[in-house]
């Protein structure tokens, strides 16, 4: 399917029930088959090459797409909203409701990268969702270990004294770690939460780099095995899945094929 001539692309601002603003970018053909919510990784944004690739690739294949910034991320730092898992989940649910209301309840899917995959799965463990198909790219299944493992004594001291610390090596951009977020990570084991995810009612696919130095490939394999999720390991690839210049397009094609089944 090629709807290139009928694609609408726009930037919008949504608002959560608590008044937090969410910068978004939307792209969709005239009659989308379904809508894909694109979530980015830690320290990244809707402006990332992956999010922008999916905003460009999905509509010609017949799908609508919406990418957005998590709190504390993006050029606007999501308008100064504090980074917490609670806020991240609220953002995802707000975007989902917006799509359902504006496009009159289309099927909703998710293309979630790294930390975005962690949030999407945590959200599914807590709440009912309208979507039923998840494509997880470099899923941060052991995100709590990554965040807590990077906190040295100085960081913990700053958390206690000022309620946050700035993490410079979290990803493409600095991320402010709030005390609430750190606490959520300490109690945010995704392997335990998986027992509450309705895997019988949703379709999930994972793709992961064989040489991922950020999210342990063994952890990804374990999570996939424990929850009966198909997993494609990409040889020679790291966390970005872009060591081979052809890999990003391959991931996009995998996702579109998965969404089209």
Q: How many CB atoms lie within 10 A of CB 199?
A: 14
* Beta strand segments in the chain, E: 8-15, 21-28, 34-39, 64-68, 107-113, 133-137, 164-167, 175-178, 203-209, 231-234
Q: Which CATH superfamily is domain 4-141+190-260 in?
A: Alpha/Beta hydrolase fold, catalytic domain (3.40.50.1820)
Task: Enumerate residues 6+ apart whose C-beta is below 8 A from 195.
Answer: none
Burial class, 171, CB count within 10 angstroms (exposed 0-12 / middle 13-18 / buried 19+): buried
Q: What is the pLDDT along the chain (261 residues), one digit of tens a residue?
A: 555 568 999 999 999 998 999 999 999 999 999 999 999 999 999 999 999 999 999 999 999 999 999 998 877 655 578 999 999 999 999 999 999 999 987 899 999 999 999 999 999 999 888 999 999 999 999 999 999 998 899 999 999 999 999 887 666 777 889 999 999 999 999 999 999 999 999 999 999 999 999 999 999 999 999 999 999 999 999 999 999 999 999 999 999 999 998
The reported pTM is: 0.94
d(CA 249, CA 112): 16
CA-nearest of 200, 155, 201, 199 to 179 is: 155
* Partner residues linked to 206 by β-bridges: 136, 231
């Amino acid at each position: 399917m090629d709807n290139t001539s009928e694609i609408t692309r726009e930037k919008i601002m949504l608002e959560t029930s608590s008044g937090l603003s969410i910068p978004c970018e939307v792209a969709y053909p005239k009659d989308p088959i379904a809508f894909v919510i694109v979530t980015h990784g830690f320290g990244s944004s809707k402006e990332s090459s992956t999010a922008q690739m999916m905003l460009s690739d999905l509509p010609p294949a017949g799908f609508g797409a919406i990418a957005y910034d998590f709190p504390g991320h993006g050029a606007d730092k999501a308008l100064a909203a504090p980074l917490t898992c609670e806020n991240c989940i609220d953002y995802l649910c707000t975007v989902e409701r917006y799509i359902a209301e504006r496009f009159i309840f289309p099927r909703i899917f998710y293309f979630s990268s790294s930390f975005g995959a962690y949030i999407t799965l945590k959200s599914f463990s807590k709440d009912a969702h309208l979507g039923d198909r998840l494509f997880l790219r470099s899923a941060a299944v052991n995100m709590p270990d990554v965040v807590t493992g990077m906190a040295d004594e100085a960081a913990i001291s700053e958390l206690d004294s000022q309620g946050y610390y700035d993490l410079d090596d979290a990803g493409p951009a600095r991320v402010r770690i709030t005390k609430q977020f750190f606490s959520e990570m300490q109690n945010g084991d995704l392997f335990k939460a998986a027992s509450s995810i309705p895997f019988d009612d949703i379709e999930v696919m994972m793709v992961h780099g064989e040489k991922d130095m950020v999210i342990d490939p063994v952890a990804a394999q374990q999570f996939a095995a424990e929850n009966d999720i198909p997993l494609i390991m990409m040889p020679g690839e790291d966390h970005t899945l872009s060591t081979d210049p052809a890999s990003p397009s391959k991931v996009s094609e995998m996702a579109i094929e998965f969404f089209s089944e």
